[in-house]
Amino acid sequence: ECETHNGEGVDSPALDALLMDLTKVNNSRDRANRLFQDNWEKKPILIQRQNPDFYKGLFSTAEFDQILRNDDVQYGVNLDVTSYTNGKRETHNPPGRALPYTVWDFYESGCSLRMLNPQAFSSTVWQVLSILQEKFGSMAGANVSEDEVLPLVSSPNFNQNEIGQPIMDVVLEAGDLLYFPRGFIHQGDCLPNAHSLHITISSFQRNSWGDLLLKLMPASLEIAMEEDVEFRKGLPLDYLQFMGVQNSEKDDPRRSKFIAHVEGLMKNLVSYAPVDAAVDQKARDFLHDCLPPMLSAEEKASSVYGAPARWGDGKALDVTVQLKGQTQIRLVRAGAARLCGDGDTVSLFYTTENSRVYHKEEPKSTEMKTEHIDAMEFLIHSYPKFVSVASLPCETMEAKMSLAELLFEKGVIRTAEPLTAE
Amino acid sequence: ECETHNGEGVDSPALDALLMDLTKVNNSRDRANRLFQDNWEKKPILIQRQNPDFYKGLFSTAEFDQILRNDDVQYGVNLDVTSYTNGKRETHNPPGRALPYTVWDFYESGCSLRMLNPQAFSSTVWQVLSILQEKFGSMAGANVSEDEVLPLVSSPNFNQNEIGQPIMDVVLEAGDLLYFPRGFIHQGDCLPNAHSLHITISSFQRNSWGDLLLKLMPASLEIAMEEDVEFRKGLPLDYLQFMGVQNSEKDDPRRSKFIAHVEGLMKNLVSYAPVDAAVDQKARDFLHDCLPPMLSAEEKASSVYGAPARWGDGKALDVTVQLKGQTQIRLVRAGAARLCGDGDTVSLFYTTENSRVYHKEEPKSTEMKTEHIDAMEFLIHSYPKFVSVASLPCETMEAKMSLAELLFEKGVIRTAEPLTAE
Amino acid sequence: ECETHNGEGVDSPALDALLMDLTKVNNSRDRANRLFQDNWEKKPILIQRQNPDFYKGLFSTAEFDQILRNDDVQYGVNLDVTSYTNGKRETHNPPGRALPYTVWDFYESGCSLRMLNPQAFSSTVWQVLSILQEKFGSMAGANVSEDEVLPLVSSPNFNQNEIGQPIMDVVLEAGDLLYFPRGFIHQGDCLPNAHSLHITISSFQRNSWGDLLLKLMPASLEIAMEEDVEFRKGLPLDYLQFMGVQNSEKDDPRRSKFIAHVEGLMKNLVSYAPVDAAVDQKARDFLHDCLPPMLSAEEKASSVYGAPARWGDGKALDVTVQLKGQTQIRLVRAGAARLCGDGDTVSLFYTTENSRVYHKEEPKSTEMKTEHIDAMEFLIHSYPKFVSVASLPCETMEAKMSLAELLFEKGVIRTAEPLTAE
Amino acid sequence: ECETHNGEGVDSPALDALLMDLTKVNNSRDRANRLFQDNWEKKPILIQRQNPDFYKGLFSTAEFDQILRNDDVQYGVNLDVTSYTNGKRETHNPPGRALPYTVWDFYESGCSLRMLNPQAFSSTVWQVLSILQEKFGSMAGANVSEDEVLPLVSSPNFNQNEIGQPIMDVVLEAGDLLYFPRGFIHQGDCLPNAHSLHITISSFQRNSWGDLLLKLMPASLEIAMEEDVEFRKGLPLDYLQFMGVQNSEKDDPRRSKFIAHVEGLMKNLVSYAPVDAAVDQKARDFLHDCLPPMLSAEEKASSVYGAPARWGDGKALDVTVQLKGQTQIRLVRAGAARLCGDGDTVSLFYTTENSRVYHKEEPKSTEMKTEHIDAMEFLIHSYPKFVSVASLPCETMEAKMSLAELLFEKGVIRTAEPLTAE
């Protein structure tokens, strides 16, 4: 719902480089590039480029000024104004909309400005994050800081003693990139009289094996209790007499027997673990977290947004220009839609109707008819190849058409060529 | 937050005419124009113009098509799709965004389209409604209907028998205007094979003397109970024995005495009635209901939205260009702000930070410092004359500046000339 | 649900005297007794009797000890333990049930004990309060304080300066009674080394003419707006321009006209005031606030609680012993039930299923069939006379029986003689 | 809060027999009694005694009649009245209290009466259930049915076809006992013209190994994620591309590697399983579900309920009679209190302040001071032996006294002899 301000999409070669930087990690066949291979989730990486224009086009203070002018940026919601006095942080957000008149006045008075969800306002940031989220299979977030002065204080969660000596202490110049793994304590200061604009991108939160097990374990147990009588058998009538903290130092032979039985059951859980279903649970959450795909002009033209149906000459025109059997289609993006098991049914979850504001929309999904499931899988696995509607593996032409129509209307697929009236 | 689509503001002479039509009622000195004088709140008025272009520019199906293309119009929230079969209404809203591709398909299948808050998308409708609300001192709403077929059924709240014979039965042509008072039962049909686009504007809801008394009576009683011991005296110990429905047919002399005493107290309430405070309660509600003022390019330039503070050449520029003592200021609109008593304090309520979506924002107000109240009244009553900041009746120059600054930042006032760096 | 501890009912002659004291006020024909006449709602009354046994039987510390032993008295809910150190009050309620073992230990350490709803535990207090509420037509509450030491501090809501000089300063001895009107500031101290047990009874809260108007005014206005077009007419279109706090000092002739019109409408409200319906609203609240009637053994025997239906000899016995046409009936208490208008219907509200714990039960009512309403009124107005079921003014014997049956099952009526099998 | 109606406790020899029946299962050393050993959780057991008086004293229709008379039995809450017409069940609960007058009328008209929580009204049922819950380490519930006619319909959850042929079809006579394991579908009919009174006791719900794992698995995972970096490592960046339902039929080598890794982690969870803490979670729930212990007259006398502190002769008496170092103490019941880990602290959970109405009270617990923990364990493990306060393993006499005092006040311990003044 918000317009973008610096052209359509990202075309700076340097930005391509950034994206390549950030995503090389993902290409396990690239033996030449061990940089991320060796550091990912392990060590920080600092890339110093001596090229202040390297990230030109990603985000600029001038773009920030334009956003304030054109969009409804709200203090406290989209922008935080803070200052540090004697090592204490203070917030100065007035109520209401942030306009350049007040924002630059705060800035000149020495306040820091932090934009909380630049992806909702800047299409470049939107695009960068949506590419990242696709590459990493995990939500990506961002904030942008604008400072003249930055405090010499660290995160309030730790005091200096607890942290110990820093392992890295560098001056970042314009064009530099610093990666560090989840969980690294860090602190930014601003050199005297320097203007600093930096963008912080975070991703790969709550994406560990343990997070997957949080979904998998309850599901495994539910299945085990249904299918395996051992899990339904009653506990020993007297188990409270020898188990529990108050009995933990008792030397009772029943204790080890009880614990061994529990451990046996825990190991048996493995046989009931619905791994794919648990992955689907994570996938569903992820598709809800995602930014919607940012479409290029060409993509818009070939999707529902560019369909020729319109009002003109006092009547509805080109309403009949619709998909045909020979129309070539594919997903708009690899990750824009996904089939997930959802209890007894299979549903298609998709990102195309998400908002650029985090979780502003409910999760979007539609239950799949049985006759559509194979065709949907076929379409997903065909990406990035276009396939004709007629080639979808449904029994009837009607089913093929209705699936394609459904997906087209939700913006999940695009056509190879824009739909036109002959 | 939404862009407008048909130019800046309204410049069709016909639109001026409409506004004149609608607001003549308000000009009690215009003796020549008795039309609304005689009909307002009494009888319908039909103006037939034989000029289909009369309202050109107010809203068109082409603009509607553009809105679908550019804005996030949601089925069920902003657009209702309905059909009538055998006199029964059915709603067909799918989930998600309404795009031309699906909307015109519904239309071609014979469905009616009703846009529920066109003022959020069309700046012309926004402007018309915001002028109306200012003239009528009461919220104005609108919806737009697009039909090929309109049902021969009336509101489901009444059946044909209860209603009786219609008092008016006319064919409205493009350019015509039909006014009818609050409470008139009406029903629209569509002539066969005619495309119909009409806009319904409603105003003056909950704006009766009774609605004012709903605010005034509890306030009067609260004051009376505090100030007048007669209201605090106990009821007769035995009143339950002769009053109440079960005793209403009793011929007990205590009944008439009791009723007379109640009536005496009710009449005494008049002495405690805080009429201005009750009006303020209604005013507060009204200012929350209001659309924000729609500013012209010139108004924007002379308000906080056009202040020159900006980012340029790697630094914040023109931050020091601010209001001065000699700066000429006035409210942006007569009704954009109002001083209201709010318990023990006086607050300024204002419409400039309202949303074009009804009640999407909380009521906006700021408590007035005592030193600012007189100056604020002065400013309100000076409208539409500009006055200098220095002329505000505050004791100190500092107070004058801080009030002007506050109002300017909230967009409540504009300057006579755009602020510029000398 | 809780047993009483000092016999069935109240039989001390002194208690009779107390009740006479407290209720004389109600007897306006008793010319000889001007005491309450002159003081009620005006001045305190002190009755010093030099008879420490005068209120013997009302409540004793021994009864309190028994209640702790037999009932589920909870600290913080039913009993507050407090101490005063340097004029500061502290609360010492532990969690859980209050038993003599801990309660008397607190007492010996100098704490004050305050029982919050003695009526739920003591049947004497229950009876006294239920008689008071009947006489005063207003809820009656109580608490009992047990002190060895009482603080020299007053209510924390006032400081000594605000209060000024006391108008009365007396030592209350056992057997004395002190009445003071609602709103009198008071403070109790305990003489050194004296054990003090006093009961505080409050009534007549929220029972003023103003409280009645709080129900009556909104109802009057609703009716006026429905029936009188003057209340539905629109406010002047420009009223916001001359009314309200910001215009209150304006010398505008429209102001006085506007205010006069408002005052005229306020006075006209009197014609629409549904006084009996408003009294019924208060009555409904009162019947919900009421304690249930405390029945004597004889009353229990003649009501549903004493009906002979029972299990015996392996079968249900005397199930057929029910009301007959010639059975003499009356309400169990004057105030136990009341017919109240309830929107479009008439309902019977009753106290017999209330709890001794304030508002623990929902308000109890049953909608009256049209055929029963006259008979119900007849029954209410006949009290305390017994009337036969057959004499109820219903059209059919069946209707008479079904009404009597309904009332008997809810404990609202009793019979002149216990029901017995012939 | 409710009085018991058939004497103090249970003294019928037949009842002893019932309890023995029901609890023999628990005595694994009783080699002679294989009956329950072989059937528990496996097969129904029918004990036919040809002795209608065998359970005399457990519950009788006469006791039910007494309960209706003396206690606040509410229709719908404590008593359900139902009838079956043409195989369809109807409920007839009127609002309000159930009195013999209406209850026996329903019964005579052919309705079934079901008392939903007889343990709240009958001390015998209370005692039986509280013994069962102690023996089974699991909540026990009951209901009592009173029928003249019982329907020939089964649970509405199944239809006759799904169930198949019954495995047992017997006529139960007074004095008989039928046990069947959790999950057995059953159906009761009433022989024509026979009065049937039966009590249904259920226990051992949600008490399986699986139910323990429901507590254990999340706790294990939380610990593993804190302590083992393998659980915190990120998922493969591309896992969504080969895992999940939509990829489940893919023949991708990454799938088996992924699944094997998950299974490895699941098995490693065993090393982090806090079995005792999980048992404590179940124990906490169980202690909240429990009925409070029913004390005999002798037990009351030796506990806080019988302590001599009281009011007499105008003062608090025997307040100083308290526990001493040589006082012999023990828990009132084996299961009345339990030490459970509760996050970082250890708390004592206890049943003595529970209500006889299920979960009417919040869970009762008190955090244990470190200096009291060993002594508390000692006290629990000493049961049923009495130990002196002085023998508690605390460092100071003061600590010993304060623990004993705390437990005594909550009714958790009793003394060997009633406390008396010397």
Mean pLDDT for the stretch of residues D169-175: 84
Report yes or no: D101 at the C interface, CB cutoff 8 Å: yes
Mark yes or no for CB contact A262/D275 under 8 Å. yes
- Residue B226 burial class via C-beta count within 10 angstroms: exposed 0-12, middle 13-18, buried 19 and up: exposed
Q: In whole angstroms, give the CA distance from residue A289 to residue A358.
A: 7
| pLDDT at site B23 | 54
Any chain A CB within 8 A of the CB of B310? yes
Task: Name which of B204, C341, D221 is nearest A211 in CA terms.
Answer: D221
Q: Are D129 and D140 in contact (CB under 8 A)?
A: yes
Q: What is the pLDDT of residue D157?
A: 56
Asked if B267 is an interface residue toward chain A (Cβ–Cβ < 8 A), one would say no
Give the minimum alpha-carbon distance from C171 to chain B in angstroms, rounded to a whole number. 29
pLDDT digits (tens, 9 = 90+) for D260-317: 999 999 999 999 999 999 999 999 999 999 999 999 999 999 999 999 999 988 889 9
Write out chain D residues lying below 8 Å of A269, CB-based.
213, 217, 266
Cβ contacts of B310 on chain A, cutoff 8 Å: 65, 100, 104
Q: B touches which chains (3+ CB pairs under 8 A)?
A: A, C
D270 to chain A, any CB pair closer than 8 A? The answer is yes
Q: What is the value of ipTM here, to two decimals?
A: 0.84
How many Cβ pairs closer than 8 A exist between chain C and D?
95
Range C40-54 average pLDDT: 80
DSSP summary character for residue C93: P
User: From CA D181, how far away is CA D184, in angstroms rounded?
Assistant: 6
Pairing of strands B177-179, B387-388: unpaired
Instruction: Inform me whether the C-beta atom of residue D100 falls under 8 Å from chain C C-beta atoms.
Output: yes
Q: Residue C315 — pLDDT band, cuts 50, 70, 90? A: confident
* Number of other residues whose CB lies within 10 A of the CB of residue C154: 16
Percentage with pLDDT > 70 across chain A: 87
**pLDDT exceeds cutoff 70 at C124:** yes
* Interacting residues of D28 by C-beta distance below 8 A, sequence separation 6+: D37
Confidence label for B22 from pLDDT (cuts 50, 70 and 90): low
Q: Convert the pLDDT of each residue in C57-98 to its tens digit.
A: 788 899 999 999 999 999 999 999 998 777 788 999 999 999
Q: Which residues of A touch D259 (CB under 8 A)?
A: 275
Tell me which of D246, D249, D333, D370 to substitute to probe the interface with A (most A C-beta atoms closer than 10 Å). Answer: D246
Average pLDDT of the residues in D387-405: 97
Vertex B9 angle, CA B7 and B10, to 5°:
100
Closest listed residue to residue C286, CA positions, set C218, C221, C365? C365
| Torsion on CA atoms C276, C277, C279, C280, rounded to nearest 10 | 120
What's the pLDDT score for residue A258?
Answer: 98
Domains in chain B: ranges and CATH:
13-203 (2.60.120.650), 209-273 (1.10.10.1500), 280-415 (3.90.930.40)
Nearest beta carbon to residue C239 from set B241, B243, B279: B279
Chain B CB contacts of C335 under 8 Å are 240
Q: Which candidate in A196, A197, A311 is best for mutational testing of the B interface (most B CBs within 10 A)? A: A311
DSSP state of C94: P
Q: Do B104 and A65 touch (CB under 8 A)?
A: no
What gap in Å lies between CA A212 and CA A218, rounded to an integer? 11
pLDDT surpasses 90 at C11: no
Contacts of C290 (CB under 8 A, 6+ apart): C130, C133, C139, C335, C351, C354
Give the pLDDT band (50/70/90) at residue B203: confident
CA distances from residue C294 to B287, C186, C291, D418 in whole angstroms, order as listed: 56, 32, 8, 38
Look at residue B138 in the predicted model and tell me its pLDDT: 86
Closest approach of chain A CAs to the CA of B319, in angstroms? 6
D315, C195: Cβ pair inside 8 Å?
A: yes
Q: What is the mean pLDDT of residues C289-301?
A: 94
A367 and chain B: CB distance < 8 Å anywhere? no
The pLDDT value given to residue A5? 27
pLDDT at A83 over 70: yes
Q: Do chain C and chain A touch with ≥3 beta carbon pairs under 8 Å?
A: no
- Phi (first) and psi of residue D297, to 5 degrees: -55, -40
If one counts every other C-beta atom within 10 angstroms of the C-beta of residue C198, the result is 18
- Whether D221 and A231 lie within 8 Å, measured CB to CB: no
Contacts of C239 in chain B (CB under 8 A): 137, 279
Do A362 and B96 form a contact (C-beta atoms < 8 A)?
Answer: no
Find where tokens 């307002």 sit.
B40
Residue with tokens 């000195």: B29
- Lowest mean pLDDT of A367-376, B3-12, C351-360, D344-353, name the range: B3-12
CB-based contact D278:D288 (threshold 8 Å): no
Please give the share of chain D, as a percent, with pLDDT higher than 90: 58
Residue D138: closest CA among chain A residues belongs to which residue? Answer: A237
Instruction: Supply the pLDDT for residue A48.
Output: 83
Select from C1, C65, C319 the Cβ nearest to the Cβ of D72: C1
* Contact B29/A at CB under 8 A: no
Range of weakest confidence among A145-154, B234-243, C162-171, C181-190: A145-154
At C421, the pLDDT band (50, 70, 90 cuts) reads confident
In tens, the pLDDT along C358-390 reads 999 999 999 999 999 999 999 999 999 999 999
How many beta-carbon pairs below 8 A join chains A and B?
95
C-alpha dihedral, D394 to D397 to D403 to D406, nearest 10°: 180
CB A96 to CB B410 under 8 A?
Answer: yes
A85-89 long-range Cβ contacts below 8 angstroms, 24+ apart: A87/A151, A87/A152, A87/A153, A89/A151, A89/A153, A89/A156
For position A179, what pLDDT does the model report?
A: 80
**Nearest CA-CA distance, residue C42 and chain B, Å:** 10
Query: What is the overall mean pLDDT for chain C?
Result: 85
**In the predicted model, what is the mean pLDDT of chain D?**
85
Which distant-in-sequence residues (6+ apart) come within 8 Å of D383 by Cβ? D330, D331, D334
Can you give the pLDDT at residue C17? 60
pLDDT at D203: 80
Give the number of C-alpha atoms closer than 13 A to the C-alpha of residue B67, restricted to the C-beta side: 27
**Which of the residues B65, B104, B406 would you substitute to probe the A interface, choosing the one with the greatest number of A C-beta atoms within 10 Å?**
B104
Taking CB atoms and an 8 Å limit, are C209 and B267 in contact across chains? no
